[in-house]
Structure 1
Amino acid sequence: MKFVFSMAFVALLAACNTPKKKAEVVDFKQWAQTLPMGWNSWDCYGPTVKEHEIKANADYMAENLKDYGWEYVVVDIRWFVENTKSHGYNQTDPVYVMDEYGRYMPAVNRFPSAADGSGFKALGDYIHGKGLKFGIHIMRGIPKMAVDQKLPIKGTDGITADQIYTTENQCKWLKDNYTIVADKPGAQEYYNSIFELYADWGVDFIKIDDLSAPIYHADEIDLIRKAIDNCGRQIVLSTSPGETPEDAAAHVSENANMWRMVNDVWDSWWHIQHLMEVSQDWYQYVKPGTWPDCDMIPLGRLSIRGEVGDDRMTNLTPDEQYTLMTFFTIFRSPLMFGGDLPSNDDFTLSLLTNKEVLKMHAQSSQVRQLYLKDDKAAITSKNEAEGSTYLALFNLSDNSEQEVEVKFADLGLSGKVKLTNLWTGEVVGQIEAETFSQVLAPHASVLYIIE
């Protein structure tokens, strides 16, 4: 392995040591009262994304999606490796970039604006200049190279990286970092130091990997929560990947703004089915500020240099794409689009800009599953301010049409009601009956507002 120090350490030290005015202390749940919506580079670029690609997606979002509530632009994994690759990480001879305190810095050959030790400040400013918000991904723990080099931990009196780590429970699929021993002197200070740096860069959102499965790392999550709260900037915390154990629900909902329920969701039907099954444990935790997360939206153009498959438009059929978006929105998951935004076709764009669907996503409450059985599912929620009810019906069968039915009494409704299809705007009409049903094709769904 090779190791590259960033330049301009004197300037960086001066900036880091300049006293900063602390932001007003606000409970972190207030930072994401509305559901985070944005774009993440993983599905289309894997660990290889470059600055010009981030900017192109930010430009598209600002022009086409910002007015609909989409605002986060997130640089995913390994932005600090000069020679990473797609379809499997380069773990043979990675060239890491970090500063003298063992903090990863952007690889300048991929992010030119990070030259001279300036980090992601310029890229963050570019995204903020579009009226958007900036996010990054990191792995939990401390870099192996920082341990090997016995680099000092900023904010301590001589504690070095080799004094706060363990090889136990190291991430099994990416070996860049070691586990941090939470009760070691210097452990909190290391996390404080990286979030101090990210606050200087203007980071608004952070996705942290290998926190939830196969082991739930409560001790490191506690360190991260404290570091964010002390950094002077309100940074939304997303823990990844799943499956987050349900017995950790109380802890994760008290420390993270969003957390993954499953592993990576790709453009295969079984991923959607599995997600709907796992989500049954999480409806009660859908609350403002802390959100169970369905993962990224694998639509549009995927795997330009991604990890699963070759460059393609999503393999999901139009019916399956509607089903995915219907579930993500009525469940009230954060929405992080995974495809390359500038490559969107009109149909993909229409799935992201339906005002009535996004209104349901933003304003509804009391989300609950009515049932999921016999390859059928029904989910409902309320718009309490307007007195309306939302209803989604799903046919999960692989090969047969099915009639999917609900009782209006189970929705708390009686008398005459009007149903409108949220995706098409078609009004079904006034109905006065005990039940309502729809015949749906395999993998199809329908989404209504009932007034």
Structure 2
Amino acid sequence: MINHGWQYINIDDGWQGLRGGKHQAVMTNSKFPDMKALADEIHGMGLKIGIYSGPWVGTYAGHLGSYSDKADGTYDWVEKYANEYYRYVDPSKKTKHGINYHHGKYSFVKNDVQQWMDWGIDYLKYDWNPNDYYHVKEMHDVLRSYNRDVVYSLSNSAPYGDAPQWEKMANCWRTTGDIKDTWERMCSLGFGQTKWAPYNGPGHWVDPDMLVVGMVGWGPKLHYTRLTPDEQYTHMSLWALLASPLLIGCDMAQLDDFTLSLLTNDEMIEVNQDPLGKPGMIVSQQGDVVVYAKPLEDGSMAVGLFNRGDTMAQGKLTWKSVGIRGEQTVRDLWRQQDVAKSNEEFVTEIAPHGVRFIKIYPGNSREQATSGR
């Protein structure tokens, strides 16, 4: 995976033990006996490491957050109910996770960040709902007080009304609740990002949540994604066109050949990682077929012709609709081959819930612009 640009190995909720150490920060539980050694090992592979936290007294999974109701950073519920991993478990099962989701009186953000810096953390997923300016800025200011390049990722359902603030303070932010491996949920998230486009660009990325391909789920109860192969092509193509963070949500130890081919297609990844950083926008929609176009740094254009319907459909892209002139080569990015040349348009059949993901090149060349053609 590293040979195709994947960089971060992120630990989500579940690593936390009690507060302690020289910083009175959240330390690890028995599942992660030596976070510094783990970080060093990951760095030695040429990769980076991410960690998880949130500004409530407890996290979604019932572990310690970066706030406490007590000045000494202790928690009554730990002594009463915590299991061997210091995860709050309500024995009556009357509450979902056992902790009331609230911001405590005392902040331990500085303490926790100091500890992460000692460990060598490169990425933070900061998770609660609703995201708010005060707690976002607090973590931003502490992270940026250190001379370390840490990706600051907000989760979840960031309010659109504060988009200018997220753009200034976060490297990426979840615009939605959790994704599920269903066509309906994937579509509602992926095709609902257009309003965020003005705030999406290098250094600050809109995040419609992780990729649900391969073996997905929690713990031992994994299942193969319920998305069909065509739906998975749509999923990957749309996330690439949106310039969204690509976060693998499957069990990497059980990658099958098809999933691996999705995640290691360099031409798809190049569209997603294009330095221009422009998200794709809807340029046309006819019936169930919606067309997204994303300008690329070299002047070419990536295009996704999506069929959201349940039957075969014809998709059409005219050069005029995307402001391109002259003869263009059409490259199928999933097949990784040139499939057509034209001076006017591209027409294709699209499978139900499927996509034709193409690149049109060379685009509007400098020679064309100066020759009067």
State the TM-score bracket (shorter-chain normalisation). 0.7 to 0.9
Alignment gaps of 5+ in structure 1: 1-64, 81-95, 115-119, 154-170
Conservation of the 8 A alpha-carbon contact between 2:24 and 2:111: no
2-side partners of 1:99 and 1:412: how far apart? 60
Partner SS, residue 329 of structure 1: helix
Counterpart code for 1:302: V
Partner SS, residue 316 of structure 2: strand
User: What is the percent sequence identity of the aligned residues?
Assistant: 28
Counterpart code for 1:416: E
Query: Structure 1 residues 106, 152: closer, same or farther in 2, change over 3 A?
Result: closer
Q: State the match for 1:379 in structure 2.
A: 292
More helix as a share of residues? 1
Counterpart code for 1:407: T
Query: Structure 1 residues 177, 247: closer, same or farther in 2, change over 3 A?
Result: closer
Conservation of the 8 A alpha-carbon contact between 1:134 and 1:204: yes
Shift of 1:177: 6.2
Choose from 34, 41, 56 the match for 1:126: 41
Shift of 1:341: 1.0
Conservation of the 8 A alpha-carbon contact between 2:202 and 2:277: no
Conservation of the 8 A alpha-carbon contact between 1:262 and 1:278: no
2-side partners of 1:302 and 1:172: how far apart? 21
1-side partners of 2:100 and 2:286: how far apart? 43
Conservation of the 8 A alpha-carbon contact between 2:57 and 2:69: no
Conservation of the 8 A alpha-carbon contact between 2:201 and 2:278: no
2-side partners of 1:71 and 1:377: how far apart? 32
Query: Structure 1 residues 205, 372: closer, same or farther in 2, change over 3 A?
Result: farther
2:263 equivalent to 1:341? no
Q: State the match for 1:390 in structure 2.
A: 302
Conservation of the 8 A alpha-carbon contact between 1:354 and 1:423: yes
2:350 equivalent to 1:444? no
Partner SS, residue 185 of structure 2: helix
2:222 equivalent to 1:296? no
Higher RCO (C-alpha 8 Å, min separation 6): 1
Shift of 1:290: 0.4
Q: State the match for 1:179 in structure 2.
A: 103
Q: State the match for 2:4 in structure 1.
A: 68
Shift of 1:366: 3.6
Query: Structure 1 residues 401, 152: closer, same or farther in 2, change over 3 A?
Result: closer
Q: State the match for 1:99 in structure 2.
A: 20
TM-score, normalised by the number of residues in structure 2: 0.82
Query: Structure 1 residues 173, 255: closer, same or farther in 2, change over 3 A?
Result: farther
Partner SS, residue 231 of structure 1: coil
Q: State the match for 1:18 in structure 2.
A: none
Conservation of the 8 A alpha-carbon contact between 1:237 and 1:257: yes
Partner SS, residue 338 of structure 1: coil
Shift of 1:277: 3.3
1-side partners of 2:113 and 2:101: how far apart? 17
2-side partners of 1:174 and 1:337: how far apart? 28
2-side partners of 1:341 and 1:282: how far apart? 30
Shift of 1:149: 5.2
Shift of 1:195: 0.6
Correspondence 1:194-343 to 2 at 5 A? 194-210=112-128, 213=129, 215-242=130-157, 244-303=158-217, 305=219, 310-343=221-254
Shift of 1:261: 1.5
TM-score, normalised by the number of residues in structure 1: 0.69
Query: Structure 1 residues 152, 138: closer, same or farther in 2, change over 3 A?
Result: closer
Alignment gaps of 5+ in structure 2: 59-63, 75-94, 362-373
Partner SS, residue 337 of structure 1: coil
2-side partners of 1:346 and 1:135: how far apart? 26
2:312 equivalent to 1:429? no
1-side partners of 2:284 and 2:96: how far apart? 37
Partner SS, residue 250 of structure 1: helix
Query: Structure 1 residues 172, 231: closer, same or farther in 2, change over 3 A?
Result: farther
Q: Show CA shifts across 1:178-225 (max 9, x none).
A: 4156xxxx64xx312211110101000000111xx4x33110111001
Q: Show CA shifts across 1:417-442 (max 9, x none).
A: 11010110232221122x43322121
1-side partners of 2:285 and 2:185: how far apart? 16
Counterpart code for 2:249: G
Query: Structure 1 residues 396, 240: closer, same or farther in 2, change over 3 A?
Result: same
Shift of 1:403: 1.6
Counterpart code for 1:273: C
2:351 equivalent to 1:415? no
Partner SS, residue 306 of structure 2: strand
2-side partners of 1:372 and 1:141: how far apart? 43
